[in-house]
Amino acid sequence: MFMKKKTSETRNVIDVKFRIEKNIEEKKRGCVTRVTDFLGESSRGERKNMPVLDGISKTISDCMKLPRAPQPVLTSREVVLSFCGAMLGIGVTALMAFIWKCPMLLGSFGSTAPLIYCAYKSPLAQPRNVVLGHFLGASIGVVVNDFFGVVWWSIALAVALAILLMFVTYSIHPPAGATAYVAIQTGGLGNGYLFILNPTMVGIFIMLTIAIIFNKMSKREYPLHWW
């Protein structure tokens, strides 16, 4: 009796194992069949509709059709002058900051340098945009920090308001958006409303003065307009 029961259990285990292996084999064959069918349809141009892949493919195709950006002819003279101007402007401002032991440089000034020493003919590089843009960015950043503190939405609000005011006053200057961010994130480097005067206005005045003198001495047309 005991042997018959044991034999029956063994057969049941074998049957279950056989069914599991059979199901696995059928699933494998099914996956292989589906992949083969898909590849076959793709090779015959009969690929099924896949909106996401089609959208990505169309976007890439449209981008490839866009014309190349116009590249101005660069002379060795312009390259050297741009390097020397940026070196002089940032260097003098940094030197004065070290001598007087007070902050005169902001990270956003590093973005202003390529505009006023290299892309000096750009409307974004003219004195009105540089001075008014940084002034608005610093002012908005400090005011928003004073009223709302540093939270995710106040940071976004400060930068957005700075852009809005630059827009309506025709003084768009991209680096000034970074000035607004620094002002609210650090509370004006811990100086509060004095941040607007120093380092923002003092530092940008030094850099802009050097840019005007250097570009005039280099016989470059800068500024194209003052205000």
Residue 160 has pLDDT above 90, yes or no: yes
Q: What is the 3-state secondary structure (H, E, C) of 58-114?
A: HHHHHHHHCCCCCCCCCCHHHHHHHHHHHHHHHHHHHHHHHHHCCCCCCCCHHHHHH
pLDDT digits (tens, 9 = 90+) for 52-67: 677 777 788 777 777 8
The model's confidence at residue 42, banded by pLDDT at 50, 70 and 90, is: very low
Identify the pLDDT of residue 74.
81
What single DSSP character describes residue 21?
A: H
Is residue 203 within 8 A of residue 102, CB to CB? The reply is no
Q: Is the pTM of this model over 0.75?
A: no
Identify the pLDDT of residue 8.
56
What single DSSP character describes residue 124?
A: G
The model's confidence at residue 40, banded by pLDDT at 50, 70 and 90, is: low
Cα 82 to Cα 78: distance, rounded to the nearest angstrom: 6
Residues of the chain above pLDDT 90, percent: 58
Residue 45 has pLDDT above 60, yes or no: no
